[in-house]
Each structure stands twice: as structure tokens, then as C-alpha cells.
Amino acid sequence: MVQVTPFLLLLCLALVAPGLSSTKCVLTGKWINDLGSTMVIDAVDNAGNFNGVYHTAVTATSNKILKSPLKGSQHLTNTKSEPTFGFTVNWTFSDSVTVFTGQCFVDKNGKEVLKTMWLLRSHVDTIGDDWKATRVGINVFRRMQHQKE
């Protein structure tokens, strides 16, 4: 009995520990990035497609910021617990569009993180201004809360 107890303790730890920190990165939920922008990603469908809402903290325009819809897709294979994805935000308060592409990782603390790059295409009035119409950058997103059922 004395030898059995430590064994049972180890067994319990082995069974419970994996549930404490996830090794799978899931896009669905609410995220905040390094600029303070937030987004909510709805359920990912069987084809890997998803919708959501983006609330940017900053703008390249002088317009009042409004929430904007996003549409994206991710890779779905079972072996991909840290999937790549992309999404487009069609800004409701400007004539611009941003595309994000990235990968969902689980960091060394078991926390999910979205490492992304983006291209922001702004509207310009003439083809001569095309050269200055696209910005590029990096955003890192962390989970705020799990999506409510």
C-alpha cells in the first residue's frame, strides 16, 4: 500500500496535467494585440472558414473608428495543432482593406499567441499615388477570453 500511493499520485498527475495547459491553438474567441486592437473570431466551420469582428485601436485616417467585419480561413489537418491562417478586414469607416496572415502558436507557458503580418491598402485618388498606398506591419495577439456558448 505504501508503494502504491506514490504511483497513484504520479498517475493522477499524468492524467490531469495535460488538461491544465492546452497544446492546441484555437482561433475562436476574443483576442487583443500589441496596439490594443481587439477582435472576436466566431466558430471555425468544417472547411476552416470563419467570420468575426475587428475593433482597431488606431487608424491611418481621421475618421471615427467603428467595428468592422473580418473573414478568414485556417488550415484544418489533424496534425496541425498550431495552424496557419489568414483573414481580411473590410473597414467600415474607411476605404481601406487589411489582410492578415499568421500562425497560431502555444508558447512556453501554454498560452496561445497569434503571430501575424499585415498589409493595409489605403485608397488613393490617382494611380500616381499607388506607390504610397500600402503599409506593412506585424501584430501579436493574445487571447482575452474564451468564446461564450
Minimum distance, C-beta of residue 120 to ligand BTN, in the bound complex (Å):
5
Q: Is 116 in the site for ligand BTN (CB under 6 A)?
A: no
Longest alpha-carbon distance in the chain: 83
CB-based closest residue to ligand BTN: 37
Q: Is 105 in the site for ligand BTN (CB under 6 A)?
A: no
Binder of ligand BTN out of 61, 90, 101, 134 (CB under 6 A): 61
Query: If DSSP codes are grouped into helix, strand and coil, which group holds residue 83?
Result: coil
Q: Which is nearer to ligand BTN, 45 or 95 (CB)?
A: 95
91 DSSP β-pair partners = none
Give dist(CA 145, CA 1) in Å, integer.
44
73 DSSP β-pair partners = 49, 86
Q: Is 136 in the site for ligand BTN (CB under 6 A)?
A: no
